[in-house]
């Protein structure tokens, strides 16, 4: 589901700083708001933190050093996430009230705030207008096209895929797995409407493209399989075609799958 107030806020922030083309300059936005960006060299397990410095009455965002971090785009996402805590009014009020924010769980970081900051980050890094324009020309995108969009906007593969899944009218879903275990499942509105709300699985199933990547570490490209919904949704009634494209997220052990369930007229008996 699209979070309209957060999309609008991200649009306003980009517009105020003339960030209408790719990639969005987070430095320009931070500088314009008087926020200091401070990179931390030793950053294992650290994603980012924003603090309000009472004496200077200004904000500072600590983030991993992009030159040492395994994934620069991930650092951009973290900075954009912290900017979310700054630009979303209730989050900022908490910061000014002296509750510091850390990306690790606890403190003010309840789940709802984290989800909002993530939505803001994704919306800031890839404008909705761009995706809407893309989807007007053709209603769906392949995983290769989504990854290219992520590269163009210097946004992670994961957040580019979430942006696509949020905006497409197609029935599809993103699945993230780590060493074969499912860690995230996000269906499109259409997929939810068709009943694909959960997969009901804890591990990537046999026959899936994700499992093929785990079983063969020499596969470095997009893996594609044409299967049916029985593979990923074994507990649902009915069966229809399902195309899965899967891609290794660097050397993190994570695999991203895009499941596409074609339109009704193609449905199997």
Instruction: Please give the residue ranges that form the binding site for Zn ion (CB under 5 A).
Output: 114, 117
d(CA 42, CA 69): 9
CB of 53 to Zn ion, least distance (A): 18
Q: Which is nearer to Zn ion, 48 or 187 (CB)?
A: 48
By beta-carbon proximity to Zn ion, the closer residue of 69 and 175 is 69
Residue nearest to Zn ion (CB): 117
Q: Tell me the sheet residues that pair with 185.
A: 175
Phi, psi (rounded to 5 degrees) for 4: -60, -45
- CB of 51 vs Zn ion, minimal distance in Å: 12
Nearer to Zn ion, 6 or 117 (CB): 117
In terms of CB distance, is 123 or 147 closer to Zn ion?
123
Burial of 172 (0-12, 13-18, 19+ CB in 10 A): buried
Question: Among residues 33 and 114, whose Cβ is nearest to Zn ion?
Answer: 114
Maximum Cα–Cα distance across the chain: 69
Closer to Zn ion at the Cβ: 43 or 117? Answer: 117
CA-wise closest residue to 83 among 107, 104, 63, 98:
63
* Cα-Cα-Cα-Cα dihedral sign, residues 142, 146, 151, 153: positive
Q: State in angstroms the smallest separation of the CB of 47 from Zn ion.
A: 8
* Cα gap 162→3, rounded to integer Å: 13
Residue 219 in tokens: 């596969």
* Least CB distance to Zn ion at residue 101 (A): 6
Helix (H, G, I), strand (E, B) or coil at 42: coil
Rounded CA separation 102/50 (Å): 7
| Angle in degrees, CA 153, 250, 60, rounded to 5 | 55
Residue 97 main-chain phi, psi, to 5 deg: -75, 0
Q: Which is nearer to Zn ion, 101 or 163 (CB)?
A: 101
Tokens of 255: 């695999």
Q: How far is the CB of 110 from Zn ion (least distance, A)?
A: 10
**Least distance to Zn ion from the beta carbon of 90, Å?**
13
Q: CA 138 to CA 160: how far, in whole Å?
A: 17
CB of 76 to Zn ion, least distance (A): 15
Helix, strand or coil, per DSSP, at residue 137: helix
Q: Measured from the CB of residue 195, what is the shortest distance to Zn ion in angstroms?
A: 32
CB nearer to Zn ion: pick between 99 and 178: 99
């Amino acid at each position: 589901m699209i979070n309209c107030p957060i999309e609008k806020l991200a649009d306003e922030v980009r517009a105020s700083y003339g960030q209408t083309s790719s990639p969005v300059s987070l430095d320009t936005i931070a500088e314009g708001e008087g926020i200091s960006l401070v990179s931390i060299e030793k950053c294992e397990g650290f994603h980012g933190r924003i603090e309000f410095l009472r004496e200077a009455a200004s904000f500072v965002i600590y983030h991993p050093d992009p030159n040492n971090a395994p994934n620069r785009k991930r650092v951009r996402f973290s900075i954009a996430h912290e900017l979310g805590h700054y630009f979303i009014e209730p989050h900022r009020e908490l910061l000014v009230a002296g509750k510091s924010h850390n990306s690790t769980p606890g403190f003010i970081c309840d789940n709802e705030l984290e989800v909002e900051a993530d939505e803001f980050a994704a919306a800031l890094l890839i404008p909705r207008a761009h995706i809407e324009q893309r989807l007007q020309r053709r209603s769906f995108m392949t995983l290769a096209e989504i990854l290219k969009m992520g590269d163009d906007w210097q946004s992670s593969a994961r957040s580019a895929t979430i942006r696509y899944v949020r905006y497409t009218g197609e029935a599809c879903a993103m699945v993230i797995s780590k060493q074969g275990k499912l860690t995230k499942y996000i269906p499109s509105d259409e997929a939810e409407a068709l009943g694909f709300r959960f997969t009901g699985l804890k591990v990537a199933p046999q026959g899936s493209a994700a499992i093929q990547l785990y079983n063969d570490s020499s596969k470095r490209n997009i893996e594609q399989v044409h299967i049916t919904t029985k593979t990923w949704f074994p507990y649902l009634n009915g069966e229809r075609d399902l195309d899965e494209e899967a891609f290794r997220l660097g050397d993190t052990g994570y695999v991203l799958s895009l499941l596409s369930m074609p339109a009704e007229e193609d449905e199997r008996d």
